């Protein structure tokens, strides 16, 4: 199908179906009706997964070959529209699987996973489109480790090279995400790679996919699903340009949007104005100093969501200004304009010396919730999560829960349990989880209800309830985001009702409305 025949503008008009079990690839014309009905990446991908599940359902295990993983873009990607660089990834989440009876939940019914979605920026999504594919639809499981190469010539399934692996603790695992990315960047100059890290390879429930070193399909466990398919990486390389039905009219509209975004960024009355300087870390000061209902502070979580406020001297070490002090130049997504939220960051000395990017608000908030007030350790943990392929937010929720369990004496039989405020212990815990090292790594690498079941085995009803309460903020979905929800009925409702997993904040951010501030 030629694009002009079908008048398929905006999209490339091609979907690639990859069956790793049979090692076959089918590139088919996109269905114009589906593209028009669903417009964007998430809705369209939900439809493609729905169609698939109709032929394979019931899907009882998100880590089985029957789960479908889709990476893709939408019509605005790589166009004149400013900040049109983000892509979508959809799948049934392993984090939301809870098929065994949960005695701490009255009337518990088995859950086999929830259709979820994750979003990432960087270069990869636009490069996938330039390579001529709108949606990369991955089914099945390869019989040996493979990677995918997407170019304008098509999609190729390639056996994963030995260079992509190493041995850790006597077990073969993939190398870090940046080592995989660098290896493939050298092989295919100008390309962009989305890959898993050791956590995805080891099917950690909240493993992410990492693109361009630090852009993640973070929430929901896409890394575990990719690992379950024996798929290590997807590399995209192409130069195709997006076509327009009326390029001049589209450019005119894009310029209007550009001017609107620019005016909001330049106006201190809008929260968008903080983005180029402090990125999302602006919210740290806002959440700590608060002012909600006239009270000081109020919604930066502390000690596994016990409090929304803590010692200001400790806060000053990890507040907005503290992270601004280690920030460097902008390091933004492809096609980003004006908002420019991401900065490079560097720690110059001490045990956590290194270069990376400034962590995001949610990440920092959820690690403050573990009572970590060491900026350099937070920077290091963020870098390590990007290397190991672990979602920073869910890791924060799971860790705070584990620290609470440890403090209450429920983890005595597990060596290496992390403690509130212990940064080196939290770093060890992260590595234990990513490599599924020891009992502590094995237990907390799974969905949190599995951790409750194992830690609570043999406990009486009162202890079982106490154990469940420790982990409840990480239970049954994605885990709470970095806002203490007790102060915000709207956010509390959002956490409880999100359709991509409990605890999600992305599709309902009510704080500005609840505070009455833009
Ligand atoms: S750098 Fe930030 S503002 Fe710019 S496109 Fe990426 S996520 Fe959006």
Ligand 1 center to residue 330 CA distance, Å? 10
Q: Is the pLDDT of residue 465 over 70?
A: yes
Contact yes or no for 438/416 (Cβ under 8 A):
yes
> What pLDDT score was predicted for residue 422?
98
The total number of residues shown for the chain amounts to 518
User: 430-455: per-residue pLDDT in tens?
Assistant: 999 999 999 999 999 998 888 888 99
Closest ligand 1 atom to residue 331 Cα is 1
Which of 480, 381, 392 has its CA nearest to residue 423?
A: 381
Is pLDDT of 217 > 90? yes
In angstroms, rounded to a whole number, what is the distance separating the alpha carbons of residues 364 and 372? 9
Q: What's the CA-to-centroid distance between 217 and ligand 1, angstroms? A: 14
Going by alpha carbons, the residue nearest to atom 2 of ligand 1 is 341
Task: Please identify, by atom number, the ligand 1 atom nearest to the C-alpha of residue 279.
Answer: 2
Predicted local distance difference test score (pLDDT) of residue 125: 97
Give the mutation target among 126, 273, 336 for probing the ligand 1 site: most ligand atoms within 8 A of CB: 336
Mean residue pLDDT across the chain: 92
Mutational pocket test of ligand 1: of 342, 360, 362, the residue with most ligand atoms within 8 Å of the beta carbon: 342
Report the C-alpha gap between 334 and 83 in whole angstroms: 7
Phi and psi at residue 18, to the nearest 5°: -115, 125
Rounded Cα gap, residues 315 and 321, in angstroms: 10
Q: What is the pLDDT of residue 448?
A: 82
Percent of the chain exceeding pLDDT 70 equals 96
Q: What are the backbone angles phi and psi of residue 150, rounded to the nearest 5°?
A: -110, 120
**Bridge partners (DSSP) listed for residue 189:** none
- The residue-averaged pLDDT of 408-425 equals 97
From residue 337, give the alpha-carbon distance in Å to each of 79, 185, 190, 260, 330: 12, 25, 21, 12, 11
Over residues 241-250, the pLDDT tens digits come to 999 999 999 9
Q: How confident is the model at residue 508 (pLDDT cuts 50, 70, 90)?
A: confident
Residue with tokens 């939940």: 105
**Position 503 confidence tier, pLDDT thresholds 50, 70, 90:** confident
pLDDT of 57 reads 78
First to last CA, the chain: 47
Measured from the CA of 85, which atom of ligand 1 is nearest? 5
Residue by residue, DSSP assigns 121-134 as: -SSHHHHHHHTT-S
Determine the atom of ligand 1 nearest the C-alpha atom of 122: 6
Q: How far is the CA of 491 from the centre of ligand 1 (A)?
A: 23
Residue nearest to atom 6 of ligand 1 (CA): 333
Q: Beta 231-236 vs 146-151: how paired, if at all?
A: parallel
Q: 7-11, 111-115, 477-481: lowest mean pLDDT where?
A: 7-11
Helix (H) or strand (E) segment spanning residue 395: helix 392-407
Task: List, for residues 326-379, the tens digit of each pLDDT value.
Answer: 999 999 999 999 999 999 999 999 999 999 999 999 999 999 999 999 999 999
- Residue 3 pLDDT: 41
Over residues 162-173, the mean pLDDT reads: 96
Q: Do residues 197 and 112 touch, judged by C-beta distance below 8 A?
A: no
pLDDT at 6 over 80: no
Residue 121 CA to ligand 1 centre (angstroms): 7
Q: Is pLDDT of 180 > 70? A: yes
Average pLDDT over residues 91-120: 88
Q: Confidence band (pLDDT; 50, 70, 90) for 292?
A: low
Q: Is the pLDDT of residue 294 over 60?
A: no
What is the average per-residue pLDDT within 407-416?
96
Confirm if 44 and 36 have CB atoms less than 8 A apart: no
Mutate to test the pocket of ligand 1, among 124, 341, 343, 344 (most ligand atoms within 8 A of CB): 341
Residue list, ligand 1 pocket, CB within 6 Å? 83, 85, 121, 332-333, 336, 339-342
* Dist. CA 329 → ligand 1 center (Å): 14
Cα 122 to averaged position of ligand 1 atoms, centre (Å): 8
If one residue of 121, 343, 361 were mutated to test the ligand 1 pocket, choosing by the most ligand atoms within 8 A of its CB, it would be 121
């Amino acid at each position: 199908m030629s694009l002009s025949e079908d008048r398929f503008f905006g999209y490339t008009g091609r979907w690639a179906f990859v069956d790793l079990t049979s090692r076959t690839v089918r590139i088919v014309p996109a269905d114009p009706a589906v593209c028009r009905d669903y417009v964007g990446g998430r809705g369209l991908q939900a439809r493609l997964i729905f169609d698939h599940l109709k032929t394979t359902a019931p899907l009882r295990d998100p880590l089985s070959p029957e789960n479908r993983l889709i990476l893709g873009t939408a019509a605005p990607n790589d166009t004149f529209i400013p900040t049109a660089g983000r892509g979508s990834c959809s799948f049934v989440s392993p984090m939301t699987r809870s098929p065994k009876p949960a005695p701490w939940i009255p009337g518990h019914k088995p859950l086999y996973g929830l259709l979820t979605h994750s979003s990432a920026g960087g270069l990869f999504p636009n490069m996938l489109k330039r390579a001529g594919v709108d949606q990369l639809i991955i089914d099945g499981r390869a019989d040996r480790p493979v990677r995918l190469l997407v170019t304008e010539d098509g999609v190729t399934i390639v056996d994963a090279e030995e260079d992509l692996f190493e041995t850790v603790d006597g077990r073969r695992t993939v190398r870090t995400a940046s080592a995989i990315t660098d290896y493939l960047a050298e092989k295919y100059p100008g390309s962009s790679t989305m890959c898993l890290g050791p956590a995805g390879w080891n099917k950690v429930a909240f493993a992410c996919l990492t693109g361009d070193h630090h852009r993640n399909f973070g929430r929901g466990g896409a890394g575990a699903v990719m690992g379950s398919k024996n798929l290590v990486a997807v590399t995209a390389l192409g130069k195709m340009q997006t076509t327009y039905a009326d390029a001049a009219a589209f450019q005119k509209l894009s310029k209007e949007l550009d001017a609107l975004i620019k005016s909001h960024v330049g106006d201190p009355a809008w929260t968008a104005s903080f983005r180029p300087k402090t990125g999302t870390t602006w919210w740290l000061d806002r959440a700590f100093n608060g002012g909600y209902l006239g009270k000081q502070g109020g919604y930066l979580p502390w000690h596994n969501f016990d409090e929304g406020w803590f010692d200001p001297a400790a806060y000053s070490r990890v507040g907005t200004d503290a992270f601004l002090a280690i920030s460097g130049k902008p390091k933004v997504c492809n096609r980003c304009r004006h908002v420019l939220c991401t900065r490079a960051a560097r720690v110059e000395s001490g045990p956590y010396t290194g270069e990376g990017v400034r962590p995001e608000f949610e990440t920092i908030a959820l690690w403050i919730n573990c009572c970590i007030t060491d900026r350099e350790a937070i920077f290091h943990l963020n870098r390590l999560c990007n290397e190991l392929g672990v979602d920073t937010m869910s890791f924060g929720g799971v860790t705070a829960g584990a620290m609470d369990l440890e403090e209450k004496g429920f983890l005595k039989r597990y060596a290496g349990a992390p403690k509130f405020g212990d940064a080196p212990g939290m770093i060890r815990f992260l590595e234990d989880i990513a490599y599924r090292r020891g009992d502590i790594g094995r237990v907390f690498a799974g969905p949190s209800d599995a951790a409750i079941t194992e830690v609570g085995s043999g406990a009486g009803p009162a202890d079982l309830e106490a154990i469940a309460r420790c982990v409840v903020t990480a239970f049954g979905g994605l885990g709470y985001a970095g806002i203490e929800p007790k102060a915000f009925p709207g956010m509390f409702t959002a956490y409880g009702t999100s359709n991509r997993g409990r605890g999600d904040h992305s599709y309902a951010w009510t704080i500005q409305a609840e505070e009455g501030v833009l």
